[in-house]
Amino acid sequence: MRTSKDKISVKQLLFVFTIIVSSPATRFLPKYAAAKAAQAGWVSPVVCIVPFIALIFVIDSILKKYKDQSMAEIITTIMGRYLGKLVLVLYLLWVVLLLTLYTRYYAERLTSSIYPNINNNVLIILTLIPIAYMLRSGFTVIARMSEILLPFVGAMLVMLSIFLLPKIRTDNILPVYFNDIVPIVKASFASTGILSYLFLLFFLSDKIVNMKSFKAFGYIATYINISSLILVMFITIGVLGVSVARRAPLPVLITVKQASLMDTIENIEAIIIAIWIFTDFTLISTFFVVTLNLIKSIFKLSDTRPLINILAILIYFLSMGISSTKFELEEFSNTLFIPLSMLLGYGFPIVLLVLSKLKKGVKSNTK
């Protein structure tokens, strides 16, 4: 579908969503799943299907009730001006925290894989400068770039899976017993939390057209994302085993190093690192736009482009000051990530839908 210069389609939005999910998915989900559910960890994304489809239904129901309004406007309409603004401020703080964490994780991943002698602050600066420059052209640049490159990312995942399949040991992924259900559910919390980013993207709903097709494309996105998460965990845990997968700093990268493309191309981890850079770049850029849109809604601004450089400087200092070591960074994010993702990504949208129905019921009774 062709869109106007400053608008994107629902399909493009879900392309962006799939790209930003793939960044944390390859960074820590196999490690988390192996730690929580051992050899059964690769099954954990299946548990995410129910809450994620429920989230799609909730978002679709809200948007249908309040057509032609942004999510920020919907929140203030349902909850009132002051309480609604308070909620928007909470989401703003949450997105800024995520933006800070992922900017720092991006630098940590590069220093761990290819640039061990370069300081994090240099890598962060070299990331934020092009992002700040690109965002002046609007979010459509990110959406179109994701639409073009997502098929390539998917093809690489399938290709790597095929070449790594012979290296999988069945004792690394089996057996899976009935008493593994509780660990599998616990292992699914991280995946479920990452999928909650879908709600955050709808703070960009004023930039999205063709909302009627959201539910249909949402179900397709469910299949693609859940399948990809299962495949990444299955291959990583299957090749490395539980003990290595749960302890390695970058288990997916170690797994990729085991691949050999028909004994002709070795060291294909360089391609994977390039994909990581692209997915991290997309993730950080997208949360930049969400942050700016929330600021625009809270303070009723007409243009947020003058704030791009200010936000970039703020994120630089926050990402450098959030922790002194990678261990502290992981502990900090693990403590906050899951409860806040569940609360703001699933809990609040459900509350919002219930309040909208109650408000509609009260209005119909007073007529």
Q: For the residues of 159-223, what is the DSSP string, one character each?
A: HHHHHHGGG--HHHH----GGGHHHHHHHHHHHHHHHTHHHHHGGGGGGEE-GGGHHHHHHHHHH
Q: From CA 226, how far away is CA 228, in angstroms rounded? A: 5
Provide the b/e sequence for 284-297 (b: ≥16 CB within 10 Å).
bbbbbbbbbbbbbb
Residue 175 preceded by cis peptide, ω within 30:
yes
Residues 6+ away with beta carbon under 8 Å from 208 = 7, 8, 9, 10, 13, 202
Q: d(Cα 294, Cα 289) in Å, to the nearest integer? A: 9
SS3 (DSSP) at 45: helix
* Distance separating alpha carbons of residues 202 and 291, to the nearest angstrom: 12
Vertex 266 angle, CA 243 and 269, to 5°: 55
With residue 8 as reference, give the H or E element that holds it: strand 8-9
- pLDDT given at position 2: 46
Per the CB < 8 A criterion, the answer to whether 91 and 254 are in contact is no
344: its two tokens = 């703001």
What kind and span of H or E run contains 301?
A: none
CA distances 38 to 27, 34, 186, 233, 278, Å, are: 17, 4, 11, 11, 30
By C-alpha distance, which of 160, 164, 190 is closest to 24? 190
Listed in sequence order, the residues at least 6 apart from 218 whose beta carbon sits closer than 8 Å to its beta carbon are 14, 53, 56, 59, 60
96 contact partners, CB below 8 Å, separation of at least 6? 291, 314, 315, 318
Q: What is the dihedral of CA 197, 190, 135, 269, to 10 degrees?
A: -140
pLDDT per residue, tens digit, the chain (367 aa), is 445 567 888 999 999 999 999 988 888 899 999 999 999 999 999 999 999 999 999 999 999 888 878 899 999 999 998 999 999 999 999 999 999 999 999 998 888 877 788 888 999 999 999 999 999 888 888 898 888 888 888 888 888 888 888 889 999 998 888 888 999 999 999 999 999 999 999 999 888 888 888 999 999 999 999 999 999 999 999 999 999 999 888 888 888 877 755 454 455 677 777 888 889 999 999 999 999 999 999 999 988 989 999 999 999 999 998 887 777 787 777 788 889 999 999 999 999 999 998 876 665 555 5
Q: Residue 134 and residue 195: Cα distance in Å, rounded?
A: 26
Tokens of 341: 């993702």
Amino acid identity of residue 290, one-letter, is V
User: Phi and psi of 176, rounded to 5°?
Assistant: -120, 115
Q: Which pLDDT value is given to residue 286?
A: 95
Q: Is 301 left (phi over 0), alpha (psi -120 to 50) or beta?
A: beta
Q: Which residues pair with 8 in a beta bridge?
A: 208
| Full-model pTM | 0.92
Looking at residue 262, its pLDDT comes to: 47
Task: Give the CATH H-level superfamily of domain 8-366.
Answer: Amino acid/polyamine transporter I (1.20.1740.10)
pLDDT at 331: 79
State how far Cα 165 lies from the chain centre. 27
Smallest Cα–Cα separation from 26: which of 222, 278, 351, 337? 278
- Residue 261 has phi, psi (to 5 degrees) of -80, 90
Strand, coil or helix: what is 265? strand
| Per-domain boundaries in the chain | 8-366
Residues near 154 by beta carbon (within 8 Å), at least 6 away in sequence: 224, 228
